[in-house]
Amino acid sequence: MKDILLGVNVDHIATLRQARGTSYPDPVHAASVAEHAGADGITIHLREDRRHINDRDVEVMARTLQTRMNLEMAVTEEMLTIAAGIKPEFCCLVPEKREELTTEGGLDVAGQLDKVTDAVRRLQSHGTTVSLFIDADIVQIDAAKATGATFIEIHTGQYAEAENEQEMHAELVRLIKGIEYADSIGLKVNAGHGLTYFNVKPIAAIPQVIELNIGHAIIARAAIDGLDKAVRDMKKLMLEARAMKLDPLSTHSVYGGVKAKP
């Protein structure tokens, strides 16, 4: 069984910087620390409103990353033009609403198939591998395949936001069914959003998952333990789950309890 990969999202290092408009902390530096600690790639989300990652961060990381860039972006002309210049190794197309606190769901590929297909083709023409951030929904998975994208990233937000273990288990079953189906039709499958040290193992145990993209929980842990340790601890949990060949559905013992109420 293949090892599972960790993409560290450093958006929220930039959130801290933007809070005061300072030049620190620098997500470029954080990305280097994360790579040294074992990140297999760095994910950054260049949002239309630049609330955290900005154009300078993308341009510098394009030259300094030692692993690979996964540039998350909306399906817009502005972002496609930026990506044509940057030529990231990976690009993940995500939905974006200015008023959202964070990503709220998967990209509606089926409802805009021609637009997404054109974006996939344009990105691939620059040598970028394209992933589509979608819900574990058969219709969206089939649409993602139809666009010519080689990867999807399954949105794990509803699993992460589960209010109790029954709901979490039901969400896990839904994710596994979608991931298995996507793999069966030849898509490569990543996963991400809302994953933490307490809920990551069942997702990491799903054998078809290639990479987990994790940010908020790692950066939050880094505020207490430091980024090097936060990355190493997350990677260790993921590799343990994969090495133990855990059955994702019988891993109640690895649940660290459902999402604590804010």
Q: Is 252 a catalytic residue?
A: no
Query: What is d(CA 111, CA 60) in angstroms, rounded to the nearest whole number?
Result: 35
Asked if 194 touches ligand LD2JLWAY (CB under 6 A), the answer is yes
Sole window of 31-39, 121-129, 199-207, 210-218 interacting with ligand LD2JLWAY (rule: CB under 6 A): 210-218
Query: What is d(CA 204, CA 192) in angstroms, rounded to the nearest whole number?
Result: 10
158 binds, among ligand DXP, ligand LD2JLWAY, none (CB under 5 to 8 A by kind): none
Residue located via tokens 């936001």:
161
Kind plus residue range of the DSSP H or E element containing 133: strand 129-134
**Residue of the chain from 14, 116, 133, 237 that contacts ligand DXP (CB under 6 A):** 133
CB of 40 to ligand LD2JLWAY, least distance (A): 13
CB of 92 to ligand LD2JLWAY, least distance (A): 7
Q: Is 193 a catalytic residue?
A: yes
**Residue of the chain from 6, 149, 204, 214 that contacts ligand LD2JLWAY (CB under 6 A):** 214
Of 48, 35, 103, residue with least CA distance to 80: 48
Residues in contact with 85: Cβ distance below 8 Å, sequence separation at least 6, in sequence order: none
**Residue of the chain from 102, 164, 184, 250 that contacts ligand DXP (CB under 6 A):** 102
Both tokens of residue 235? Answer: 């990677």
Of 203, 226, 225, 192, residue with least CA distance to 45: 192
Query: What is d(CA 205, CA 212) in angstroms, rounded to the nearest whole number?
Result: 11
Asked if 221 touches ligand LD2JLWAY (CB under 6 A), the answer is no
Three-state DSSP at 96 gives coil
Catalytic residue numbers, as ranges: 45, 72, 193
Q: Which residues contact ligand LD2JLWAY (rule: CB under 6 A)?
A: 9, 43, 153, 192-195, 213-217
Q: Which residues are annotated as a binding site for 1-deoxy-D-xylulose 5-phosphate?
A: 11-12, 47, 52, 102
